[in-house]
Structure 1
Amino acid sequence: RRLGRFIQRLNGQFLAGPDVGTTIQDMDVIAQECSFIVPASEEKGGSGDSSLATAMGVVQAMRACLQALFGNSDLQGRTVAIQGAGAVGRAVTERLVQAGAVVTIADIDGERVEQVAADYGVNMAHSDEIAYLPVDIYCPCALGAILNDTTIPNLQCQIVCGSANNQLAEARHGEMLAQRGILYAPDYIVNAGGALWSIESLAPGGFDRQRAQAAVACIYETITMVIDLAREQNISTARAADLLAEQRIATARTE
């Protein structure tokens, strides 16, 4: 509640939301003192747990990458290595299994990864090995800086597409991935589903589930735009995403 009072004093310059180590219930407590928070629980009139929407966006981004690389967005039979069995990693696993993908998952919490593996019938790997498996898609859903000078030369995937924040240890690592011929889906687009879902609760009239689902589905189109721009300008997808973001911010400032 003290954190809520502090955020309230910022008068909307900062919006609070859940991340690693917090829950939707924590947001409800903060909301007792603060109106600048997304999401609140559905019981409190909010949009509810955003991790499912984040996972929805991750899968949309995967499909866009598959379409760009193979001309087919179908996940049936595609191999995916998921790093992280938290709320988003678990939800991504569920969606991929439903789509017919072959999933391997790892987490530093052995009990948690065993539970996900048992619930969805997927394979397990050691957390130190998951990034280097020969798969179609490597899906980082844990902490950041996982794409660096050590990991990139040893990747055996064709696509990197996951929900972890700040996956590139440095900006130049986006170029390294491009030079290796690995299609990188920029993290801040891939993981935007949770934010897009939650921000809908601030719209006039309150949260609308269909509108939120449509917003998350647009991640497919955005990733496609980034890949197309990267190919047109012969730049990395990381740089293309930054250019697109800069253009949209500049346009918004003039409106």
Structure 2
Amino acid sequence: MISLWDYPDFDAHESVSFFRDEAAGLTAIIAVHSTHLGPAAGGTRLWHYADKGDAVTDALRLSRGMSFKNAMAGLPLGGGKSVILADPGVDKTPALLAAFGRAVDSLGGRYITAEDVGMTDQDMLAIRQETRHVSGLPVGEAAAGGNPGPLTALGVYLGIKEAIARALGKSSAAGVHVAIQGVGSVGGGVARLLAADGARLTLADVDQARAGALARELGADLAAADDILGIEADVLSPCALGAILDEAGIDRLQVPIVAGAANNQLKTPADGDRLTARGILYAPDYVINAGGIINVALEYLGQGDRAEVEARIAQIPERLEAIWAEASQTREAASAVADRMAMRLIGRG
């Protein structure tokens, strides 16, 4: 039996906590990677894992990514993540959410949660009944906080435009062909922003009905979820789940740019080198997709309104450009440069 320390993605995590409440139907993991800069912040993902070991891997990878994301975004927060192991066909219940809130509270503020895949701002309200260490709550229109999806989408959109300028020499997304994998809250938001600029879109999602509806709304093309990696386009924007960029996936790419919202897009660090070897400009995921955490962090910290959130998100292209400039100078993968910068910021460089 593999021990936690033997997982390839265990990276000196400060703590990994397992929670089980049989009466409430809760099985959850909360991973705290680093509190060097402040309490560990990161959302809760509710997902069905066919293999429970995959849930551990997800928690480890995602929490490390949050350490890097928060550090690179200039937030006084560490990195953590939680996953709730969902049974197929079983809905979230008030009892499950309450039990998870108690789990978060038991860590005494070392971990702050918010919504991620499978969770909503209304779920955060339910969790808030059991702990104050939660953000992403429903808020007024001009306030920081609430559903982080649209703010994540805004940052990704701005990052894609910066990548287009650097790799294609174009000042706008008009006429640029962007293939988007995953059109949920974030991917759908990215698609709408790009469509407003006149970009040509190809959309794919495991929920074909959702992708089809958005394609009709925006006048976009539609591709099967299994085919989107091989689409010939200007930009591939992965906005679904991670680990899609492995050796086989990268071999299929027919794009000069990869820039999207999905966490942990690279299956291994070597895959960043593979992208570089193929001349593909890569936007490190935890830099380009930081809009959502900026939003919920400023809500939790009480440091500004929606205008302040958007001003900070507007700095994402500058961070990407600094990474790309150094990568070009040192002939390294952009992912390696970003990792090195983030490691220094969390005191591990």
Indicate the TM-score class for this superposition, using the shorter chain for normalisation: over 0.9
Aligned counterpart for 2:306 among listed residues 196, 200, 209: 209
**Match of residue 37, structure 1, among 134, 137, 144:** 134
Q: Distance in 1 between matches of 2:165 and 2:341?
A: 20
Contact 1:197 1:215 in 2 (8 A): no
Residue 46 of structure 1 deviates from its aligned partner by 6.1
Give the counterpart letter for 1:223 in structure 2: L
Stretches of structure 1 that go unaligned for 5 or more consecutive residues are none
Partners of 2:346 and 2:329 lie apart in 1 by 21
Q: CA deviation at 1:198?
A: 1.1
2:225 aligned with 1:127:
yes
Contact kept, 8 Å, 1:47 with 1:207, in 2: the verdict is no
Describe the SS at the equivalent of 2:245: coil
Unpaired stretches in structure 2, ≥5 consecutive residues: 1-97
1:52 partner amino acid: P
Q: Give the conservation status (yes or no) of the 8 Å contact 1:24–1:39.
A: yes
- How far did 1:69 drift? 1.6
TM-score for the superposition, normalised by structure 2:
0.69
Superposed counterparts of 1:123-202, under 5 Å = 123-202=221-300
Match of 1:71 among 169, 172, 181: 169
1:84 paired residue number: 182
Question: Which structure 1 residue ranges, 4+ long, deviate > 6 Å from structure 2?
Answer: none
Q: C-alpha distance in 1, partners of 2:136/2:99?
A: 18
CA distance in 2, matches of 1:109, 1:95: 21
8 Å CA contact 1:65–1:183 kept in 2: the answer is yes
Which structure has greater helix proportion? 1
Q: Confirm or deny that 1:13 pairs with 2:110.
A: yes
- 1:118 corresponds in structure 2 to 216
1:50 aligns with 2:132: no
Identity of aligned residues (%): 36
Aligned to 1:234: 331
Letter in 2 for 1:38: S
Asked if the contact 2:163–2:257 (Cα under 8 Å) also holds between the matched residues in 1, the reply is yes
Q: Using the alignment, how far apart are the partners of 1:209 and 1:225 within structure 2?
A: 25
1:150 match: secondary structure: helix
**Which AA in structure 1 matches 2:175?**
G
- One-letter identity of the residue aligned with 1:220: P
Task: Report if aligned partners of 2:144, 2:298 keep a CA contact under 8 Å in 1.
Answer: no
Aligned to 2:53: none
Aligned residues: 251
Secondary structure (helix, strand or coil) at the match of 1:195 reads helix
1:95 maps to amino acid:
L
Residue 224 of structure 1 is aligned with which of 310, 321, 337?
321
Specify the SS of the correspondent of 1:81: strand
Q: Distance in 2 between matches of 1:65 and 1:211?
A: 24
Contact 1:114–1:124 (CA<8 Å) still a contact in 2?
yes
Aligned partners of 2:171 and 2:344: how far apart in 1?
28
Counterpart code for 2:268? E
Report the aligned-residue RMSD: 1.8
Comparing 101-110 and 71-80, the one that deviates more:
71-80
**1:210–1:46 distance in 2 versus 1, CA, 3 Å:** closer
Please state how far the C-alpha of 1:102 moved relative to its aligned partner: 0.4
Normalising by structure 1, what TM-score? 0.94
Match of residue 342 from structure 2: 245
Contact residue 144 and residue 306 of structure 2 kept, 8 A: no
Distance (Å, rounded) in 2 between the aligned partners of 1:48 and 1:120: 26
Could you tell me which amino acid in structure 2 is paired with residue 226 of structure 1? I
Give the counterpart letter for 2:101 in structure 1. G
